[in-house]
Every structure is written in structure tokens, then in C-alpha cells.
Chains A and B, each alone.
Chain A
Amino acid sequence: MSPTWQRAIVVGASSGIGEAIARRLAALGTRVALVARREAELSRVAGEIAKAGGKAEVFVHDVADFDATSALFDRIVATLGGLDLLVYAAGVMPAVEESEWAFTKDRQMIEVNLLGAMAWCNPAGARFEAARGGTIVGISSIAGERGRRGAPAYGASKAGLTSYLESLRNRLGRYGVSVTTVKPGFVDTAMTKGKPGLFWLVSPDRVAARALGWAGRGCTGGFVPARWGLVAFILKLIPSFVFRRLNF
């Protein structure tokens, strides 16, 4: 069976959800470009994909190095011989104490979680618009649904990403391009390891399966697990003056 996507870029493919998506794509027969900062991790993923019979290329890149994105995108597209799918799964969530006001961490989250997505989606969006087809998948988060006291910058970066992806969907939909926004809750990855108060924990592979399933059907996306959708619905109904008194 031929894969839904012949050629894909997965940004943030060295671990977590990005790695799981890359593995699933490769298993489907998609030729995958693995993009991330950590070369050793990327090589490990690429090696394991190759061992399983898949095709993956490694491209070391820091998503916050915006000046390098466009040229790298062109290089990858030339290497793959085109592009059908872009997955932006890069994300960071450094620990931020409630008493901490660390702009460096805030900037890192905005750069990696949001601006990096824009830097990659711009050339992909332009290419897909011109080609009248293509798929973009962005990994956002339940954290972007309301402004929680514990993670102002992380929540803002994911809220921004959700809104940005919705705009892309509205902009590109008329050209046959689908944009899927995946909003997981707590995922069992290195990013959440050791964090207190986690529940409804899901594996990266489960998120990857849902993400590719939605994207393959051209769906707008959703929450993983689905029950977070109900939580988000309720959270959004809570008036701000009440929400601020809750311990979120």
C-alpha cells in the first residue's frame, strides 16, 4: 500500500511525539526528514528506522536559528524530491517556579514552541499553496486553552500556536491544504518526566497515531485523550474572576 504522504519533514524528531510520528510515517513507507538539535538522538532514531526498513534522513538544526530555516527547508525538499507533509513537534517546557520571573526561559518557549513553527510553516505553507495540496500538523497543547498561573509563557506559546495553525487552516484550506492541530494533555516524554501532578498520561505513540489519523483524513485535529476536549470546554466556560481563584 502506498503511503498517504510520500515525503515528510518532522521537526523535533529526536524524541517524544516527534520521534513517534517519524517512526509511524517511516513504517507507512514515507521518506522522512528528521530535524532536531541533538545529532546523536537523531542518528539513533534514523538508525532504528532504517533497521526497521524505513527511510529517514538526519538534519541537525536548532529551531530558534530562524535565519537558517529557509535554506535548510529548501535543502530538505531538494533531498526528498518534494514535500507532502510537515510536522512541527518541537517544543520545550523548562521548569518555572511560581516565584520565578525568568525572561530567558519565556523567550526560549516562545522561540521554540511558536516562532520556530512559523519559521517552518511559512516556506511549507507557500510551497503547499503553490502546489495546491499538502498537509501541516502542529503539536499544540491543552495548556493553550486558558491562561494558567503555573505556566504563563508555555501556555501563551501553545495558545499562539493553536491560533496560528487555525489561521493557516483558514488561509490554506481553499488551496486543498489541510492543517491539523493536535492538543495533547500530559504525555509521557522527557519534557514531563519528574513533573508533579500528572494524570491521564498518554504515550507519545498514542498521540502520534491520533495525529496522523486526523491528518490523513484532513481533520482539523483535537485533544488526546479526547476527554481533554470536555475539560477544555468546561474550562472555557469558567468566568475569568472565578478561574483566577482556582488552583490551576
Chain B
Amino acid sequence: MSGLPSSLANAPLRVVDGFGMAVRAACRCLAPRDAGELAELLARATREGMSVAFRGSGRSYGDPAINASGLVIDTTGMNRILSWDPTTGVVDVEPGVTIEGLWRRTLPDGFWPAVVPGTMAPTLAGCAAMNVHGKNNFKVGPTGDHVLEFDLAAPDGRTYTCSRDQNEDVFHAAIGGFGALGAFTRLRLRLKHVESGLLEVEAIRNRTLEEAFDIFEQRLPAADYLVGWIDGTASGRSLGRGVIHQANYLTADRDPEGPAKTLRIARQDLPSTILGFPRSLVWHFMAPFMTAPGLWWLNTAKYFASYLSRPGRKYLQSHAAFAFLLDYVPNWRLAYGRAGFIQYQPFVPHGAARRVFREILERCRARGTPPYLVVLKRHRPDPFLLTHGLDGWSLAMDFPARQREQLWALCHELTEIVVAAGGKFYFAKDAVLRPTDVERAFGRDRLDRFFAVKRRLDPQGLIRSDLMRRVLPA
């Protein structure tokens, strides 16, 4: 940021969207280069009474990093790794360091981020603010469980150093607090020691939804990562069919290439072509399939392709190749067209998940709106105030947003089912929840405790993203 404008109202305008492109707004955007500039921006915004939201890589699917008519503070320029201890695996980073930036620095020393989502693009501040989880949530919890300490610049002009022992209420509210309390200016995380740059992966076909749950239950104790792809277009007896992938860390002695080679960055690079086409062009070929018949064909082909591999066959894959499926096809979101898409991801307690997810998939079919991509995961509870984590399961579903009213109505129907079952939602993915949904899902008590912290750190209510306006207008 080279010099502030005379008034924040004159900051450069940008049309900022959610990753799903279904929500967007014109916002004023400024990008501080360090914590000092960020604090100065917060002070200016306070003086001028301009609302603020924070934005990292913009990978949240909905509106937490959008602030219509207000100021969006882009933290991607604050992207230095402040310290790295390869003996303990503890790293101090600025908020704009991405997952990619982190693992590229630490993997050669034998450390991998303990939690990664399906893309390496998000910033670590974004991961902490949304309390992002990965395919190993059932085993290691979300990002917040691996944050040791952070500094949070709040609108009250103070910077709070928070950990499990210091300002612990802020610690547990800011992680998963979608940036509503302040901006992370430093994060200290502990990374996972890995002996090899490879994972041992096995694909297991499930013919029904019940079978998917059964396989998960059977595999969970021994798996490091477990994720299920579900054919969202299948129905009847095939409802919920799909392919589950289990991955386990490889010990050094079982690494056929040797850790010295597999821990190198070059060994982790994703392929530059897919079926002979440059990766960057592949989304153009996907676009014609983004219709109900096209997706039926793709899902069916993907499911039956699993018959080509021998049951029980295990293969080796790099950490990046297994973890970052969403990065294989750059700009894949554009294949959905200008209307974009949303992801709806309910989290449902263990005892109700089988029934609820069956009902959800059946309801989608009944409404003529099958999800284009469905992913099943197992989760565990965590101690953060507005967490989506619970002892249960999640079903992430991508829907094109072409018929917006119909889609929103369907999501509200599904929300009723989820909330009635004691379920929760994930703010990194949400674009459709209403205030009453959030109150019922998270409970008034938790919201009151969250707002008590917010009133202390942000007495003027300066931080107001479009997500906050939509789901927490109070």
C-alpha cells in the first residue's frame, strides 16, 4: 500500500466475489504491506466510520470476504514467513502466507501443514478465520487445533496476543470467527512431521450410501486421511454410490524413492497436463458438461471407471497430488458460467447422519436439482466458539447457481432438515443461511458469548462483512 487516499471513500473500487461467483459486490480495496499499515487502516476506518472486512486469497465460497460499499482489507501482501524451526516444526507467519507458500518452505525439512483443504491457495489467516478442515479432520481436528498463538489487530486499537493460556476467550472466538473480531497479523502454527513426501493411497468403491458409511467406520481407526466422493446424480438403490479414498503417511523405510527425493518440492508439483491438454485450458472442456445430463454422464463414468482398478490395490501419491485436487484444473470454477455456483455443506451428528444425508440426496433429486459434486467426510468436535466441528459427518455439495431462487429455496428446505437433526454449517462455504438458521444451529448462548468478545474488541461494530450482515445482523 503506497500511501492512503485522502478518504477511505476514495480507495480503489473492485468488484469482489466469493469463490463460487454467485455472490459479489463493489468494494473499496486496500492492501497493507505490514501490521503497522493494517493498524493504520483500522484506525482510519474507525475515524471515518467505514465498515471493514478482511480478505485473503478469496477462497471462501460465499461472502465472508466481501463488504458491499465498505472497505476490504486484502492481507495477501503480508506474506512473509517470520520464523521457521525445522527441529520443532513450529512456524511464525504473516497472515497472507498461503498453504502453498508454507509447505514449499517446510517440506524439505520433513514438515507438512497438519491441516490442508482441497486447495493450496488459501492464506493461513483465512484458514484460521474460517477454521478450515481437511480430509483428516476426524483424526487431527481443524486448523485451529494446530495454531499455538496469534496476534490479532482489533478495531479498539489494540493488538491481542492470544493462545490457549493468554486471552483464551479471544483465541477460541477468533478462530472460526470469520474475521469478525479483527485481523490476524501473526500466526504461530505447529506442523506435522512427515518421513516421506509420499502417501499410500487406496481407492475403495461403495455401491450405496450405507456402504460408504460402513467403509468409513471400518477404515477410520487406521486411516490418516479419508474422503468419499459420492455420485450426486445416482438414485434408487444406487443412491450415494461413490469412491472413498484412504491415504496414510509413508514411513521412511517404505519410501521406494527415498525421503531425500520425495521431500523435494519438485516431486510435489502437480502434472502440467491432463489427458495431454495444458491444465490451464481444461476448464474450457469442462464447461459443456456443466448441465444435468453432462454431469450425469461424468459422474456415472467416474463411478464405473473405479471398476477398472483392482480392489485393494494401493498406490503412492505425493502429498500435494492427494491433498489439492481442486488445484489440478486452474479456474475450474469458470466452467460453471457467469451465474457461478454455491457449495452447501451441512455437518450432522453421527447418529443422524445416515438418515439425514439420504433424505438430503433424495430431496435434491425430487426437486430436480442434483448436486454436481458431492464429498463425504468424517469430523470430530473442537473447542472453538463458532466451529462447525462436531462428532459427525459432513456432505459437501456443489450446485450451479443458474436458477437462483429455486436453489436457495431448496437449500432452505435442506437447512430445516439439518437443523432439526442438531446439525451445523461451515461459514467458509455458506452463501444461503439466514439469521434464524444460524441461531438454531449454533445456539443463542454461543452467539451471545461471541458477541460479548466482539463488543469488547470492536465496540463500534466496525467489522461487518456481507456474511455478517446476512447471518448475524445484530
Task: Give A residues with C-beta under 8 Å from B.
Answer: 66-67, 70-71, 74, 77, 122-123, 126-127, 129-130, 132, 174-175
Contact = CB atoms under 8 A, between A and B. Distances in A.
B421 interface: no
Given A74-B69, A123-B26, A129 B15 contact: yes
B10 A67 contact: yes
What 7 A-B pairs are tightest by C-beta distance, nearest first?
A126-B26, A71-B9, A126-B13, A70-B9, A130-B26, A129-B15, A130-B15
Contact of A74 (B6, B9, B25, B338): B9
6 contacts: A71-B10, A74-B9, A77-B69, A126-B13, A130-B15, A132-B338
Nearest to A71: B9
Contact of B25 (A122, A130, A175): A130
Interface string B1-33: 000001101100111000000001110100000
A77 B14 CA distance: 17
Given A67-B10, A70-B10, A123-B13, A129 B69 contact: no
Contacts, number: 33
Contact of B26 (A71, A129, A174): A129
Nearest to B5: A67
Given A66-B10, A123-B13, 7 more contacts: A70-B9, A126-B13, A129-B26, A130-B25, A130-B26, A132-B338, A175-B338
Nearest to B9: A71
A123 B27 CA distance: 9
- A74, A122, A130: which has the most chain B beta carbons within 10 Å? A130
A67 B28 CA distance: 14
A67 B13 contact: no
A130 B24 CA distance: 6
Nearest to B24: A130
Contacts of B24: 130
B7 A122 contact: no
- B6, B7, B14, B15: which has the most chain A beta carbons within 10 Å? B15
Nearest to A70: B9
A127 B26 contact: yes
A76 to B, nearest CB: 12
A175 B15 CA distance: 12
A127 B14 CA distance: 9
A117 to B, nearest CB: 15
A39 B15 CA distance: 33
Contacts of B69: 74, 77
A62 B286 CA distance: 50
B13 A122 contact: yes
B116 to A, nearest CB: 31
A18 B385 CA distance: 55
A77 B69 CA distance: 10
Contacts of B26: 123, 126-127, 129-130
A175 B24 CA distance: 12
- B10, B24, B338: which has the most chain A beta carbons within 10 Å? B10
A74 B11 CA distance: 13
Nearest to B13: A126
A132 B22 CA distance: 11
A174 B68 CA distance: 21
- A77, A122, A126, A129: which has the most chain B beta carbons within 10 Å? A126
Interface in B52-96: 68-69
A69 B15 CA distance: 18
A127 B68 CA distance: 9
Contacts of B6: 67
B58 to A, nearest CB: 14
B360 to A, nearest CB: 29
A132 B24 CA distance: 10
A174 B26 CA distance: 16
A126 B9 contact: no
Contact of A126 (B7, B10, B15, B338): B15
Interface string B435-452: 000000000000000000
B244 to A, nearest CB: 39
A131 to B, nearest CB: 9
Contacts of A122: 13
- A70, A127, A129: which has the most chain B beta carbons within 10 Å? A70
A74 B338 CA distance: 26
A126 B66 CA distance: 14
Nearest to A175: B338
Contacts of B15: 126, 129-130
Contacts of A67: 6-7, 10
A195 B24 CA distance: 49
Interface string B117-153: 0000000000000000000000000000000000000
A215 B28 CA distance: 28
Interface string B366-380: 000000000000000
Interface string B339-360: 0000000000000000000000
A116 B118 CA distance: 46
Nearest to B70: A74
Nearest to A77: B69
B13 A71 contact: no
Nearest to A66: B10
A240 B27 CA distance: 45
Nearest to B12: A122
Contacts of A127: 26
A132 B69 CA distance: 16
Nearest to A129: B15
A122 B338 CA distance: 22
A127 to B, nearest CB: 5
Contacts of B13: 70, 122-123, 126
A74 B67 CA distance: 13
A74 B50 CA distance: 11
Contacts of A123: 13, 26
Contacts of A71: 7, 9-10
